[in-house]
Amino acid sequence: MSIKYENSNPSNTGLFLKSLRAKSRGHMNVLKIIPLKNNTPIEYTYSADYSSIILSFDGGEISICFDTDSRILLYGKGADVGLRLDTQPVYNFEFNYYLGTEGNEYSIINSYKNLTKFLVFAPSGKVNLTQNILYDDTGSTSESENVSFIDITSSNAEDFKCVIQDIPTHTALPFYKEYDFEECRANSQKAFESFCALQPVVDEKYAKSLLYASYINWSSTVKPEGYLRRYTIFASNNYFLGAWSWDHCFNALGLAGVDNNLAFDQMEVLYDYQDELGQIPGSVSDSTLRWNFTKPAVQGLFYSKMMKKMDFTKEQLESIYSHVEKQVLFYEKYKDSNNDGIIEYTHGNDSGQDNSTVFKDAIIIDSPDLTAFLIKSMDTLSDIAKKLNNEEGRLYWNNRADELTKKFIDYFIVDNLPVARATRTGEIIHSNALLPLMSIVLGKRLPDEIRKSMIDLLSSKKYLTDWGIASEAIDSDLYQDDAYWRGPIWAPTTLLLVEAFEDCGETELAMDIARKYCNLINKSGCAENYNAITGEALRDKSFTWTASTFIYLASKLYKYENK
């Protein structure tokens, strides 16, 4: 569950309880929270901190906080103050239930639009359900004029408490106890402060953004349920309800050395479903596994980064080795349709840079970044084999990485720069997209002249702005300020490039880009992506890989500037 003030629909603005179950994505708003005065809706203002929300209006206020990960507590005070929970039915077969005995009434919200249910009861106050259901001759339609809302009113005309409880399966009964709102709020605050206390040190000028980024990650963490076998940080608790198969890596790296158990879980949440072929799902949520796309194979690279910040147990290393080895073999066998030793992207979504201009002609392509990620996975396998005293494995994967690096250079490098090619013909795809240049992650595996050419291009005004590196050259005919991967700045490419520049020995450049990115977050918050020229926040305004990348880079920058 989450609570958000919605203003995207001018005819229906207000505070909404939202369901974060992936099956709810089409209708995330479960109910609208409406303050009442004398049983009549009243205009209000709201304020919020990291533990509670307060709705203020003439003659009273309603405060809201999470009591547990499954319950929300609302406390209203003021003469004749009440609360309406408008469930806003969408289908004709949505129906809410009025249950209990006199004086202990409660309601079940049967939210078919969210494929879930909620229990509503009043530890102090009165519950009443008002609804009308219109059945039509066709049985059920996608639109309806149904009305169904639950009113909570005071039993003493001065205050009330209301509990909204998530029901994961069929039903539940009210749990009556002494609900103390201030105690509830203090517990929530303490939980968040405990999470914040684990975060790394950053420069004071980034302290407010660190708090904000930490809150985004903390509030987007959901408990194990359904397909989720461990605590999982969703890509967003706004629109992207799940863990995607490269988003999870950035959250894991941001947690490495901060909360190692949670960091390891973020990597494993996708590997929990690695199939017999070696593929991991494109995303996982409580209710959905998506296998349509594979995403870029960055996991091996990220495990190597995590090993520098945390100690894995022998059992964990063995598990990682098995996971990454199966993944490499999957790509080699099933993503090389012409058997030329170069793996392929069959769609932009597989690359993570979904609509990159490299894919503008919608063809199967050989992109150098994918081969580079595979080489880095082989390097990681070699390193882990060494830690496990597996000399044969160390030599094998090191030799494989060397062989693939030579093939990479022979096939992809033209005039000292990497190019993507059409898989079937081998023809060069002329593009100003960032995607092929992400192969700079190979670092010092690249010959000096190639590495220098790539760094010079990436650090030129074609790509580098005041805020970071654009996903399409800003002088390109195909550049757009807000077109996903055709211009905007993104967290994942920023982190990968900062790390790559460091690996290449370009520490000053790496720190300059890290500083630009941290300043961008200070200016515009943790959005999904940003206008490369103005730094304006774009799309989803609350994204966890953005928050995790900021925490990671702000910490790195602090250590660099205070060494």
Identify residue 440 by its one-letter amino acid code: I
Backbone phi, then psi, for 428, in 5-degree steps?
A: -70, 135
Q: Sheet harboring 116-124: ordered strands across?
A: 45-48, 53-57, 60-66, 71-77, 159-167, 116-124, 104-111, 97-101
The span from the first CA to the last CA of the chain, in angstroms, equals 42
- 164, β-bridge pairs: 72, 120
Report the alpha-carbon distance of residue 31 to residue 493 in Å, rounded: 37
Nearest to 485 by CA among 402, 389, 369, 384: 369
Give the 3-state secondary structure of residue 99: strand
Identify residue 372 by its one-letter amino acid code: A
Q: Which two tokens stand for residue 233?
A: 């940080």
* Integer CA distances (angstroms), 375 to 354, 381, 413, in order: 22, 10, 16
Q: Which residue has the tokens 């507590």?
A: 73
The backbone region for 38, taken as left when phi is positive above 0, alpha when psi lies in -120 to 50, beta otherwise, is left
Q: Which two tokens stand for residue 535?
A: 């730094």
Note the pLDDT of residue 11: 87
Full pLDDT tens readout for the chain, 563 residues: 999 999 888 889 999 999 998 888 878 899 999 999 999 999 999 999 999 999 999 999 999 999 998 999 999 999 999 999 999 888 777 789 999 998 899 999 998 888 889 999 999 989 998 888 766 555 655 566 778 999 999 988 789 999 999 998 888 999 999 999 999 999 999 999 999 999 999 999 999 999 999 999 999 999 999 999 999 999 999 889 999 999 999 999 999 999 999 999 999 999 999 999 999 999 999 999 999 998 999 999 999 999 999 999 999 999 999 999 999 999 999 999 999 999 999 999 999 999 999 999 978 999 999 999 999 999 999 999 999 999 999 999 999 999 999 999 999 999 999 999 999 999 999 999 999 999 999 999 999 999 999 999 999 999 999 999 999 999 999 999 999 999 999 999 999 999 999 999 999 999 999 999 999 999 999 999 999 999 999 999 999 999 999 999 999 999 999 98
Report the alpha-carbon distance of residue 376 to residue 379 in Å, rounded: 5
Note the pLDDT of residue 91: 75
- Tell me how crowded residue 163 is: count the other CB atoms within 10 A of its CB: 21
Q: Which two tokens stand for residue 556?
A: 């790195």
Backbone phi, then psi, for 484, in 5-degree steps?
A: 60, -110
Give the 3-state secondary structure of residue 250: helix
Note the pLDDT of residue 362: 79
Per-residue buried b or exposed e for 267-306, using 16+ beta carbons within 10 Å of the residue's own CB: bbbbbeebeeebbbbbbbbbbbeeeebbbbbbbbbbbbbb
Identify residue 530 by its one-letter amino acid code: Y
153 neighbors 128 (Cβ within 8 angstroms): yes
Q: Sheet harboring 529-530: ordered strands across?
A: 489-490, 529-530, 537-538
Q: What is the gyration radius of the CA atoms in the chain, in angstroms?
A: 26
Give Cβ neighbours of residue 156 (< 8 Å, ≥ 6 apart).
Answer: 124
Report the alpha-carbon distance of residue 514 to residue 494 in Å, rounded: 8
Give Cβ neighbours of residue 204 (< 8 Å, ≥ 6 apart).
Answer: none
Note the pLDDT of residue 499: 98
* Angle, CA 324 vertex, CA 343 and CA 270 arms, to 5°: 100
Q: Which two tokens stand for residue 475?
A: 């002088």
432 neighbors 465 (Cβ within 8 angstroms): no
Give the 3-state secondary structure of residue 168: coil
Note the pLDDT of residue 239: 87
How many CA atoms lie less than 13 Å away from 302 in the CB half-sphere? Answer: 28
453 neighbors 489 (Cβ within 8 angstroms): no
Which element (helix H / strand E) includes 360? none
Q: What is the pTM of this model?
A: 0.96
Report the alpha-carbon distance of residue 135 to residue 148 in Å, rounded: 14
Q: What is the DSSP letter of 9?
A: S
490 neighbors 246 (Cβ within 8 angstroms): no
Note the pLDDT of residue 98: 94
107 neighbors 142 (Cβ within 8 angstroms): no
Report the alpha-carbon distance of residue 450 to residue 403 in Å, rounded: 18
Nearest to 214 by CA among 559, 492, 544, 494: 544
Question: How much of the chain is helix, strand and coil, in % rounded to 5?
Answer: 40, 25, 40
For the chain, give me the number of helices (H) and strands (E)?
A: 13, 28
